[in-house]
């Protein structure tokens, strides 16, 4: 489903280049559940943004569903983001003035779905994340876990193929985090390809595969079953980081 | 994304900060209200003048003794003009075929008395034709008899107010009144007419012109009003009248004014004034536009994360442009409509205060004010909306 070949992304801060990703190559199959770990600043979010077509690599080739993303123009990219990719963020990113159900309707609004159908589909998605009773609440009337579930409903309402989650449980207590994780897994089980950036071993261990990034490079490829290996590499990387 | 969804989304965003939206909307409202009220005022003045002129009839030539260049000057400068006589008037009518009706006029002031009651009024010497030429109507009795102009008669027609004051509860027709030292029989009473170019036509006594000249001891007419057959004939008739009088007097000592020319001059001056007032008021709309731009710039920077989110959800840049532009246009259009209502209210208030002034905003001003208010939103909304579309999605999501 996804093929990355020699992806590099360099930011320039003043005269100093920051190599956020260096020669990253990876393949992600349809229906996979992949966790990305790594110390802070290792390039996890940058990788996720490139996968989500929100950012473009400076070097390398990104193929999504057999299409070379570099060749897509602005309009085609927005269509890919709309129909192929769903995003979940650490800070939920709900629109504060809109109710839960209106937030879920948002992608369909810009996709031009008719109002009745919009309402109906949003209601079904909210139901699936167990939030029907909160449909008319605004984000500030919801708990963190509820907000993330609304965000999850919104990210999947147009039935994307790929769900990208950047620290989806990073701002949640253990219980809410578990609820969100269970929902993610449920969707993955139904065929959705899932890529989760996380610091949380409890989240990462549920993934079939784990990647560990360090300084923009993939330094470890492992599995959720053998999370101990990944955590050891991560620990070493963080120690290295601290040592400077 | 349908236009309806777009507008609802924009309206929703505006309701998020009512005070800020309301204030910038108010700016446009004030601008539009100013355009409406000021142009209504100008248009009212123009209509007032036009109606005043048209009350005394259209296609009218006015002959006055003396040349305009000298008549207002110091006595002794420029020759004393010859009298404008009844014979002159008859000669003009005979010589110029384009003239339909003529009304020689003499004006003075006299006391009119009946029994104990008396009243100082304007005495107008006129002819039978004056009724038509000056657009007068009778409430009672007849007007002056149709006799040769140089023949006097001891008859008078009274204005409405004069008749009421002298004859309370009595029909004056057939009664004999004293005007100065003269005794005159009342033959008719004018219908209410009000002010006509500075004379209260309700408070006059009208007698035959020859009689008035004797009573007031005048040898010259005050005015000679000539009604020309058709609008197209006015310039030719005017030239002929001038030539006849120059020939008779041996010099150019009369002034012939086409009332139409005066009217259209006034009308176009006041029309230009109205445009200028509207233009000045429109400047305030531009100021309001800057206010809208400011509000929208704040909105864009406040909602940076939201814009990032919309991009991540697959909204196109054009859609984001449209959404923010719609907000600006919605603001300014709502302001325009509010201003229209306020301006209309102000005009109504003005008319209630000064009923004589037929103030009404001209249709072009209403249309222009509304179109401008929409345009102001579109114009001043473009910059902020484009700023929104230029955001980098990743940076926007991070609130940068
Ligand atoms: N827009 C940018 N401009 C400059 N540097 C950037 C930019 N975005 C990211 N970086 C840098 O790129 C590197 C990778 O950043 P990234 O956000 O991908 O890290 P991360 O692994 O997601 O870290 P965290 O766990 O803290 O979220 C960091 O050193 C970061 O400072
Ligand atoms: Mg990150």
Task: Please list every protein residue whose CB sits less than 6 Å from any atom of ligand 1.
Answer: A 11, 13, 18, 20, 38, 40-46
- Is B248 found in the same domain as B101? yes
Indicate if B117 and B242 belong to the same structural domain: yes
Task: Mean pLDDT check: name the lowest of B5-9, B231-235, B247-251.
Answer: B231-235
Indicate whether B81 pLDDT > 90: no
pLDDT at residue number B109: 93
Which pLDDT band holds residue B271 (cuts at 50, 70, 90)? Answer: confident
* Model pLDDT, residue B76: 41
Mean per-residue pLDDT over chain A, rounded: 95
Whether residue A232 lies within 8 A of chain B, CB to CB, comes out as no
Q: Residue B111 above 60 pLDDT?
A: yes
The answer to whether the CB atoms of B314 and A79 lie below 8 A apart is yes
Kindly state whether A112 is in contact with chain B, defined as any CB-CB distance less than 8 angstroms.
yes
Closest by CA position to A149, among listed A83, A206, A94: A94
Mean pLDDT of B170-196: 91
Q: Which domain holds residue B30?
A: 3-52+275-397
Confirm or reject contact between A189 and chain B (CB < 8 A): no
B98 located within any domain: yes
**Residues belonging to chain A:** 244
- Compute the CA torsion angle B211, B212, B214, B217 (nearest 10 deg): 180
User: Residue A105 to residues A78, A140, B2, B204, B255: CA-CA distances in angstroms?
Assistant: 17, 18, 14, 80, 81
Structure confidence by residue, pLDDT tens digits, A103-128: 999 999 999 999 999 999 999 999 99
pLDDT at residue B74 greater than cutoff 70: no
Residue numbers in B near A89 (CB within 8 A): 397
Is B321:B386 a contact under the CB 8 Å cutoff? Answer: yes
Residue B73 lies in a domain: no
Please name the member of A78, A93, A115 whose beta carbon is closest to the beta carbon of B314.
Answer: A78
pTM reported for the whole predicted model: 0.76
Give A225 to chain B, closest Cα distance, Å.
Answer: 32
C-alpha distances in Å from residue B343, one per residue of B349, B353, B354, B365 = 10, 15, 16, 11
Q: Could you tell me which residues come within 8 angstroms of residue B104 by beta carbon, excluding any fewer than 6 positions away?
A: B86, B89, B125, B126, B127, B149, B209, B221, B223, B224, B225
Q: Which of A10, A20, A50 to mutate to test the pocket of ligand 1 (most atoms within 8 A of CB)?
A: A20
Q: Cα(B377)–Cα(B329) distance, rounded to whole angstroms?
A: 4
Give the mean pLDDT of chain B: 88
B178-200: average pLDDT: 88
Question: B313 and B168, same structural domain?
Answer: no
Residue with the larger pLDDT of the pair B59 and B104: B104
Tell me the CA distances in angstroms from B191 to B118, B125, B137, B143, one per residue in order.
Answer: 21, 18, 5, 11
Average the pLDDT over each of A139-148, B55-64, B272-281 and give the range with the smallest value: B55-64
Tokens of B254: 């009369």
Q: How close is the Cα of B74 to the center of ligand 2, in Å?
A: 95
Residue to substitute from A87, A109, A156, A158, interface B, most B β-carbons within 10 A:
A109
Q: Which residues of B touch A (CB under 8 A)?
A: 1-2, 5, 9, 12-13, 15-16, 305-306, 308-317, 319, 393-394, 397
Ligand 1 atom having least distance to the Cα of A42: 21
For residue B154, pLDDT over 90 is answered with: yes
Provide the pLDDT confidence category of residue B274 given band limits of 50, 70 and 90.
confident
To the nearest whole Å, the CA of B317 is away from the closest chain A CA by: 8
- What phi, psi does B256 have (nearest 5°)? -115, 120
Residues B344 and B247 grouped into a single domain: no
Using the predicted structure, report yes or no on whether residue B378 has a pLDDT greater than 60.
yes
Predicted local confidence at residue B212, as pLDDT:
94
Report the pLDDT value the prediction gives residue B364, as an integer from 0 to 100: 87
For tokens 């990719």, name the residue.
A85
Contact A55 B393 (CB under 8 A): yes
Task: Give the pLDDT band of residue A167 (cuts 50, 70, 90).
Answer: very high
Q: Measured from the CA of A47, which atom of ligand 1 is nearest?
A: 18
Q: Which residues of B touch A115 (CB under 8 A)?
A: 5
**Residues B119, B88: one domain?**
yes
Residue B5 has its nearest CB partner, among A55, A89, A109, at: A109
Which ranges of B56-167 would DSSP assign to H, the alpha helix?
A: 68-71, 86-95, 130-133, 160-166
Q: Give a yes or no: residue B91 inside a domain.
A: yes
Q: Which residues surround ligand 2, an ion (CB under 5 A)?
A: A 45
Residues B236, B91 share a domain: yes
Looking at CA atoms only, how far is residue A56 from chain B in angstroms? 11
Interval A14-43 mean pLDDT: 95
Q: Which of B198, B218, B252 is the last residue of a domain?
A: B252
B303 and B243 in a common domain: no
Say whether pLDDT at B78 is over 70.
no
Check residue B70 and give its pLDDT: 43
Sorting pLDDT into bands at 50, 70 and 90, what band is B340?
very high
Tell me, yes or no, whether B286 and B176 share the same domain: no
Q: How confident is the model at residue B55 (pLDDT cuts 50, 70, 90)?
A: low
Task: Determine contact, residues B131/B117, Cβ cutoff 8 Å.
Answer: no
CB B301 within 8 A of CB B330: no
Judgement on whether residues B245 and B303 belong to the same structural domain of the protein? no
B305, B315, B394: residue with CB nearest A55 = B394
Residues B40 and B118 in one domain: no
Does the pLDDT value for residue A36 go beyond 50? yes
CA B235 to chain centre: 25
- Count of structural domains, chain B: 2
* Better-predicted residue by pLDDT, B49 or B328: B328
Which of A13, A47, A95 to probe by mutation at the B interface, max B CB count within 10 Å? A95
Residue B289 belongs to some domain of the structure: yes
State mean pLDDT over A156-176.
95
**B226 and B101 both lie in a single domain:** yes
In-domain check, residue B62: no
Note whether A111 contacts B5, CB cutoff 8 Å.
no
pLDDT at residue B395 in the model: 94
Residue range B316-328: average pLDDT?
A: 94
For ligand 1, what atom is nearest to the CA of residue A48?
18
Instruction: Decide if B311 and A110 are in contact by the 8 Å CB cutoff.
Output: no
Please answer whether residues B83 and B65 qualify as being in contact, where contact means their C-beta atoms are separated by less than 8 angstroms: yes
The DSSP element (H or E) to which B241 belongs, if any, is helix B234-249
Per-residue confidence (pLDDT) for residue B77, from 0 to 100: 45
Q: How confident is the model at residue B71 (pLDDT cuts 50, 70, 90)?
A: very low
Contact assignment for B313 to A98 by CB distance below 8 Å: no
- pLDDT higher for B285 or B324? B324
Give the 3-state secondary structure of residue B158: strand
How far is A26 from A3, CA to CA, in rounded Å? 6
- For ligand 1, atom 24, which residue shows the shortest CA distance? A40
Per-residue model confidence (pLDDT) at position B2: 86
Confidence of residue B57 (pLDDT cuts 50, 70, 90): low
Three-state SS across B264-310? HHHHHHHHHHHHHHHHHHHHHHHHHHHHHHHHHHHHHHHCHHHHHHH
| Average pLDDT score over residue span B26-53 | 88
Average pLDDT over residues B175-200: 88
3-state secondary structure of B163: helix
Mean pLDDT check: name the lowest of A72-81, B61-70, B96-105, B191-200.
B61-70
Q: Which of A78, A95, A154 sits opposite B306 (nearest CB)?
A: A95
For ligand 1, atom 19: residue with the closest CA: A41
Of B204, B220, B252, the residue at which a domain comes to its end is: B252
- pLDDT at residue B72, rounded to an integer: 44
Cβ–Cβ gap B311/A78 under 8 Å:
yes
Chain A nearest CA to B323, separation (Å): 10
Task: Give the C-alpha separation, B389 to B384, whole Å.
Answer: 9
pLDDT at B56: 64
Write the DSSP string, A119-168.
HHHHHHHHHHTT-GGGTT--GGGS-HHHHHHHHHHHHHTT--SEEEEEST
Chain A contact set for B393 (CB, 8 A): 49, 54-55
Interface pTM, i.e. ipTM: 0.94
Q: Is the pLDDT of residue B105 over 50?
A: yes
CA of B181 to the centre of ligand 2 (A): 112
- Six-digit token string for B186: 């009342």
Say if B63 falls within a structural domain.
Answer: no
d(CA A41, CA A21): 10
Distance CA B175, CA B164 (A): 13
Q: What are phi and psi of A88, to 5 degrees?
A: -130, 135
Residues B120 and B192 in one domain: yes
Residue B65: inside a domain? no
Is B270 domain-assigned?
Answer: no
d(CA B270, CA B47): 9
Which residue from A minimizes the CA distance to B3?
A112
Q: Which of B313, B322, B388 to mutate to test the interface with A (most CBs of A within 10 A)?
A: B313
Rounded mean pLDDT of B338-354?
92
Identify which ligand lies nearest to the alpha carbon of A46: 1
The string of DSSP letters for B8-64 reads: HHHHHHHHTTHHHHHHHHHHHHHHHHHHHHHHHHHHHHHHHHHHHHHHT-SSEEEEE
Among the three residues B217, B237, B252, which one is the final residue of a domain in this structure? B252
According to the model, what pLDDT value does residue B68 have? 60
CB A37 within 8 A of CB A204: yes
- Of A52, A72, A78, which to mutate for an interface test with B (greatest number of B Cβ within 10 Å)? A78
**Identity of the residue in A54, A98, A115 whose CB atom sits nearest the CB atom of B393:** A54
Write the pLDDT tens digit of every residue in A169-208: 999 999 999 999 999 999 999 999 999 999 999 999 999 9
């Amino acid at each position: 489903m996804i093929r990355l070949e020699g992806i590099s992304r360099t930011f320039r801060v003043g005269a100093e280049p920051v190599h956020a990703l260096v020669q990253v190559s990876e393949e992600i199959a349809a229906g996979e559940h992949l966790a990305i770990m790594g110390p802070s600043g290792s390039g996890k979010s940058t990788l996720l943004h490139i996968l989500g077509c929100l950012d473009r690599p400076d070097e390398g080739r990104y193929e999504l569903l057999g299409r070379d993303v570099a060749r897509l123009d602005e309009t085609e990219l927005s269509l890919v983001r709309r129909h192929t990719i769903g995003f979940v963020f650490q800070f939920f990113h709900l629109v504060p003035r809109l109710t839960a159900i209106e937030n879920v309707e948002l992608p369909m609004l810009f996709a031009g779905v008719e109002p009745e159908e919009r309402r109906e589909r949003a209601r079904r998605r909210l139901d699936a994340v167990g939030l029907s009773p909160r449909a008319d609440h605004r984000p500030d009337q919801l708990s963190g876990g509820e907000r993330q579930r609304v965000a999850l409903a919104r990210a999947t309402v147009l039935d994307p193929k790929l769900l990208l989650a950047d620290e989806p449980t990073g701002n949640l207590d253990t219980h809410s985090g578990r609820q969100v994780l269970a929902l993610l897994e449920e969707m993955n089980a139904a065929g959705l390809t899932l890529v989760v950036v996380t610091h949380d071993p409890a989240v990462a261990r549920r993934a079939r595969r784990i990647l560990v990034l360090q300084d923009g490079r993939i330094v470890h490829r492992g599995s959720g079953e053998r999370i101990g290996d990944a955590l050891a590499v991560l620990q070493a990387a963080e120690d290295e980081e601290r040592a400077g | 994304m349908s236009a309806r969804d777009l507008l609802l989304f924009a309206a929703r965003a505006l309701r998020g900060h009512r005070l800020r939206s309301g204030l910038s909307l108010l700016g446009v409202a004030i601008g539009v209200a100013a355009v409406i009220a000021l142009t209504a005022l100008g248009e009212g003045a123009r209509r007032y003048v036009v109606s005043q002129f048209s009350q005394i009839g259209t296609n009218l030539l006015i002959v006055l003794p003396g040349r305009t260049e000298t008549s207002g000057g110091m006595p002794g400068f420029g020759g004393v003009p010859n009298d404008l006589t009844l014979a002159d008037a008859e000669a003009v009518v005979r010589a110029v075929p384009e003239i339909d009706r003529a009304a020689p006029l003499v004006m003075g002031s006299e006391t009119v008395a009946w029994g104990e009651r008396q009243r100082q009024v304007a005495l107008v010497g006129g002819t039978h034709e004056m009724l038509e030429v000056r657009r007068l109507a009778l409430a009672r009795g007849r007007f002056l008899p149709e006799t040769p102009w140089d023949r006097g008669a001891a008859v008078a027609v009274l204005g409405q107010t004069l008749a009421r004051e002298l004859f309370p509860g009595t029909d004056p027709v057939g009664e004999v009144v004293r005007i100065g030292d003269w005794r005159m029989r009342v033959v008719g009473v004018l219908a209410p007419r009000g002010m006509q170019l500075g004379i209260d036509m309700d408070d006059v006594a009208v007698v035959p012109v020859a009689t008035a000249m004797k009573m007031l001891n005048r040898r010259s007419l005050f005015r000679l009003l000539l009604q020309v057959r058709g609008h197209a004939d006015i310039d030719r008739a005017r030239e002929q009248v001038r030539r006849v009088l120059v020939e008779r007097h041996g010099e150019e000592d009369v002034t012939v004014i086409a009332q139409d020319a005066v009217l259209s001059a006034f009308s176009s001056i006041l029309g230009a004034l109205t445009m200028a007032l509207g233009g000045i008021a429109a400047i305030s709309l531009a100021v309001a536009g800057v206010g809208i731009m400011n509000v929208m710039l704040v909105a864009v920077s406040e909602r940076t994360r939201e814009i990032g989110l919309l991009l991540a959800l697959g909204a196109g840049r054009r859609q984001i442009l449209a959404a923010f532009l719609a907000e600006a246009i919605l603001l300014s259009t709502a302001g325009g409509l509010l201003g229209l209502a306020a301006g209309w209210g102000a005009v109504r208030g003005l008319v209630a205060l000064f009923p004589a002034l037929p103030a009404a905003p001209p249709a072009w001003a209403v249309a222009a004010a509304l179109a401008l208010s929409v345009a102001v939103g579109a114009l001043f909304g473009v910059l902020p909306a484009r700023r929104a579309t230029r955001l980098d999605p990743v940076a926007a999501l991070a609130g940068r």
